[in-house]
Amino acid sequence: MTTLQEQYQHLEDTIRAYNPAANFEQIHAAFDFAVSAHEGQFRKDGSPFVTHPLAVAQIVAEELHLDSESIIAALLHDTIEDTAATHADIARLFSPTIADLVEGVSKLTRVQYTSKEEEQMENLRKMLMAMAKDIRVILVKISDRLHNMRTMEYQTPEKQKQKSFETMEIYAPIAHRLGMQKMKWELEDLSLKYLDPVGYREITEVLEEKAAEYEGFMAGVQEQISDRLQEAGVDGIVYGRLKHPYSIYRKMYAQNKRINDVFDLIAFRVIVDTLADCYNVLGIIHDLYHPVLGRFKDYIGTPKPNMYQSLHTTVVGAGGIPFEVQIRTREMHEVAEYGVAAHWKYKQGGQGAGDEKNYEWVRRLLENQEGADAEDFIHSLKVDMFADEVFVFTPLGDVINLPAGATPIDFAYTIHSAVGNHMVAAKVNGRIVQFDYKLKNGDVVEVETSQSAHGPSRDWIKIARSSNARSKIRQWFKRERRDENIVNGRASFEAEVKRCGVSPKELTNEDTLPQVLKKLSYNTLDDLYAAIGYGGVTALKVVGRLREEINQIIRQHQGAAAEQPTEQQPKPAAEPRRAHGEQGIIVEGLSNCLVKFSKCCTPVPGDDIVGFITRGYGVSVHRTDCPNAAPERRRPEEAGRWIKVSWADKTNPFYQTTLEVIAKDRPDLMVDISTVISSTKTQFRGLNARVTPDGSVLVTMNVSVTDAGQLRTVMRRLDQISGVMKVSRPAG
């Protein structure tokens, strides 16, 4: 076990190897400050807490070769969040720039939020704002997350899954968007280890077996390519590797394959000196091996938005074994491995100086999400940063990069908002297509516009894949259809309030209205209605934020009812509602009888229900819309066995019910469904998915919910998932 001083000395040695001009005096002062600030704090494994910032600084230095300010920020990155140190203290002792870096990496722990999603959104928004000013914020943050994932075995299983899911959904895509492939792969593999330990173990075990099996094959291919390069006079480095576990895992689920059915497990890299050599080597590879049609990609001629450049080709070697070859220059390789960190200039007087124009997309992302609610912000962030992209062309040959699954609507708004707003038709490769057509790599897209166009449809917001397009469509509705938005927004708001058992007038009277508007950050009620109408916020979110005020009105109702004279409220012979009931159900005229919920319609609190007296099994409770309980299907001789039932004031904590989702088959569909179930705090009890004859997917889920309100929320959120055509509760 190395001591703290030995770990720090290792850090200094690492920095000195690549940046001897670093400010070692200030770095040491930051180390001393961190040791003092974190004194008495320990990690889950029992080690002093300061070992974590020290390890993060080691990653920043060893893997990213960043400047002195970045290393100091890494050493101090938890001081504002977890100790008494403030932004002003760090600015005074070190520099305002370092204090801003630390503040950018820290979380917003001192603010209360209405939901976990809103807290996550604000943390991300703040981090992205700091990142737009100084890209080093995100480099330190990713290094911080990488060390946390490397030491995740000491956390509880719940924390492991939560952090791994967040890493997979947010930090790995950001690392990809910044071109940091090496870190991205490690983050994905570590996340998979905790999200699906069985799948991860299966893949790693197979890879270990394949490594021994393919060892001779890989050495032979490497020697063949090296010899041919030498004959052609090309100076290059050749090496092979097995693909990393998560890339295989994704391929297995995207293509519905088992591990043994995934053949192209091997990838070779050829690193050369010049651009011309890249294309020379491509010819050599295609001469040596048989290329697979449709598996060649030129990311040199058309670089990815994260600056990645390389030639990719898949070929078939001896014994029919396919493998991928990536060809790039040394500079391209640096960018491919380390992304923006490869461009960071640490030699300019020890000060960082990034090329900020490369990070304009961060500012655009923030602008597109201005005013968005938490759920939409996080969804859009994943889409905008996710690994899958599609490259299409304008009729003039310009390359346009869009997220996978993009439509002509996304293309039009990427060109200009005026093009999208006036679009009347779209052509792909010279043929008219529908607006929901999914664009493919290499498509030539042409948009037809008209000044007399009515403008975008509200359905376009659901069809558009990119946050840029959805934001511009919302802006149009916000600007052009305010009166219509107010009417629609008011109807949605009042309907949601009534579901809570409160009159909208009570919530918007002159006494409560100022408090409501202040809490929601709107100047007038019409502004609130307009925001709901154009899709800037949902009525469900608004009512969720007003839960405290609604509960207060409900308590006033209950208090008023309790104070009324008894003669005005004569007590009925039998109470229609009791505090308790068997399984949360009150059966009219019966007490202490056995109650069970029918499996054909699985009712939950809030559903309209009816009871049926069974022979020997008590009362079976059905939803009133269940076909088995329909009046026309009831037998005359059983008329007396149908009985009135109602929900008690106190019900069970959870009720099981069944949902059916019909969706278009696509990669990550089940991931999106699981995300909705998790984010709505709903519990899975069973899951079955199968492909129907028409190519759709039918997903049947058994879930546990508290009441019909939660179930409606789950169904609404499921219905918003891309590709979902229908969400229903089976009955009968």
Nearest CA to 619 among 639, 590, 599?
A: 590
Strands 431-433, 423-428: parallel, antiparallel or unpaired by DSSP? Answer: antiparallel
Q: Collapsing DSSP states into helix, strand and coil, what is residue 435?
A: coil
Q: Are 458 and 502 in contact (CB under 8 A)?
A: no
Name the catalytic one among 82, 494, 549, 707. Answer: 82
Nearest CA to 729 among 588, 611, 626?
A: 626
Q: What does the alpha-carbon distance between residue 76 and residue 57 come to, in Å, rounded to a whole number? A: 9
- Phi then psi dihedrals of residue 305, to 5 deg: -60, -25
Q: What does the alpha-carbon distance between residue 552 and residue 211 come to, in Å, rounded to a whole number? A: 65
Q: What does the alpha-carbon distance between residue 376 and residue 534 come to, in Å, rounded to a whole number? A: 14
Q: Report the sign of the C-alpha dihedral through residues 714, 719, 724, 728, in that order.
A: positive
Q: Are 601 and 624 in contact (CB under 8 A)?
A: no
What is the H or E stretch that residue 703 is in? strand 696-705
DSSP bridge partners of 312: 297, 326
Name the catalytic one among 25, 63, 67, 81. Answer: 81
Give the distance between the most distant pair of CA atoms in the chain: 107
Nearest CA to 611 among 596, 632, 627?
A: 596
Query: Cβ neighbours of residue 9 under 8 Å, at least 6 residues apart?
Result: none
Clarify whether 82 is annotated catalytic: yes
Q: What does the alpha-carbon distance between residue 605 and residue 190 come to, in Å, rounded to a whole number? A: 41
Q: What does the alpha-carbon distance between residue 48 and residue 46 come to, in Å, rounded to a whole number? A: 7
Helix 116-133 vs helix 360-368: angle between axes, to the nearest 10 degrees? 150
Side-chain half-sphere of 16: how many Cα atoms within 13 Å? 8
DSSP bridge partners of 327: 270, 311
Q: How many residues are present in the chain? A: 732
Cβ-count burial of 17 within 10 angstroms (0-12 exposed, 13-18 middle, 19+ buried)? exposed
Q: What does the alpha-carbon distance between residue 357 and residue 348 come to, in Å, rounded to a whole number? A: 19
Cβ-count burial of 87 within 10 angstroms (0-12 exposed, 13-18 middle, 19+ buried)? middle
Q: Which residue has the tokens 């791994």?
A: 164
Which DSSP letter does residue 544 get? H
Q: What does the alpha-carbon distance between residue 471 and residue 473 come to, in Å, rounded to a whole number? A: 5
Q: Which are the catalytic amino acids?
A: 81-82
